[in-house]
Amino acid sequence: MRIDVVTIFPDYLAPLELSLLGKARDAGIVDFHIHDLRSFTSNNHHAVDDTPYGGGAGMVMLPEIWGLALDPLMVEDTELIILTPAGERFDQRMAQRLSGSSHLVFACGRYEGIDDRVRQHYSTDRYSARKITVHEVSIGDYVLGGGEVASLVMIEAITRLLPGVLGNPDSLCEESHNESGYLEYPNFTKPAIWRDIAVPEILLSGNHAEIAKWRANMAKNRGNDNL
Ligand code: JD8
């Protein structure tokens, strides 16, 4: 899988070099390319934004610059992902589907967002004829300053599903979705007693059927903190 990220803050994507993602890159499982949007500007000030038509606070990102950055990346079967708080909610099902893609391009906007004609342009028949699709995606109901953090969240959730990225693929099966969400039972390791708190006896019993029942029950009742 090839992943391209277009941003005015390329350093935000430095975590892609780390840990599993770095190993996946070194193993040739995924190929990351980070593009600085400002490198596509020709004006002296490297402006990537301007005032919004219709007035209002803030600035909007110029379509022209985005077109120059995205055009070379639009190859057959590309999925263009435009991050936006108004987008379709990212979830494990979407991560699973996107992990089957050959090429993902993440457009990370800033300011008030990217001129909507960028989305409209790459959604036209000229691109769908080449099986290029555009998705507006949000990672949650809260407002971030831009799309970079959201792209990192999505890239991590997607690439960890790729064959060969996780050392133990069995851990993916453990994360299987069930009617009460993910199996989020509490985890314990050594020592058996820590600051007078003991590990639940059942986990030391070796009775795997009972352990599985205990874990399923704990997962069902977890997350009721109503934060
Ligand atoms: C892309 C610009 C900032 C958003 C004015 C603050 C995703 N779950 C999410 N929350 N926020 C984003 C997100 C925010 C972005 C951009 C994604 C581009 N901003 C804007 C509108 C209000 N500022 C996001 N995924």
> Does the Cβ of 53 fall within 6 Å of ligand 1?
no
Asked if residue 144 has its Cβ within 6 Å of ligand 1, the reply is yes
- Looking only at the bridges linking them, the beta strands covering 197-198 and 193-194 are antiparallel
**Predicted pLDDT at 180:** 47
Ligand 1, atom 4, lies closest to the CA of: 112
Nearby residues of 176 by Cβ (< 8 Å), 6 or more positions away: 183
What are the pLDDT digits (tens) for 128-155?
999 999 999 999 999 999 999 999 999 9
| Average pLDDT value for the chain | 93
Res 100: pLDDT: 98
pLDDT score recorded for residue 179:
47
Residue environment code for 151-177, b if the CB has 16+ CB neighbours within 10 A, otherwise e: bbebbebbbbbeeebbeeeeeeeeeee
The answer to whether residues 3 and 155 touch, using CB atoms and an 8 Å cutoff, is yes
% of the chain surpassing 90 pLDDT: 81
Residue 94 has pLDDT above 50, yes or no: yes
pLDDT at residue number 46 = 87
Asked if residue 136 has its Cβ within 6 Å of ligand 1, the reply is no
SS3 189: coil
Ligand 1, atom 21: closest residue by C-alpha: 112
Percentage of the chain with pLDDT > 70?
91
Q: How confident is the model at residue 78 (pLDDT cuts 50, 70, 90)?
A: very high
Distance 83 CA to ligand 1 centre (A): 7
| 98-133 residue pLDDT tens | 999 999 999 999 999 999 999 999 999 999 999 999
What is the spatial distance between Cα 123 and Cα 7, in angstroms, rounded to a whole number?
20
- Does 70 contact ligand 1 (Cβ within 6 A)? no
Rounded mean pLDDT, 1-18: 95
Strand, helix or coil for residue 146? coil
Q: Furthest-apart CA pair in the chain: how many Å?
A: 70
pLDDT score for 44: 82
Per-residue H/E/C for 34-55: EEEHHHHCCCCCCCCEECCCCC
State residue 177's pLDDT score: 52
Angle, CA 165 vertex, CA 163 and CA 166 arms, to 5°? 100
Using one digit for the tens of pLDDT, what is the confidence trace for 157-207? 999 999 999 876 666 666 655 444 556 899 999 999 999 999 999 999 999
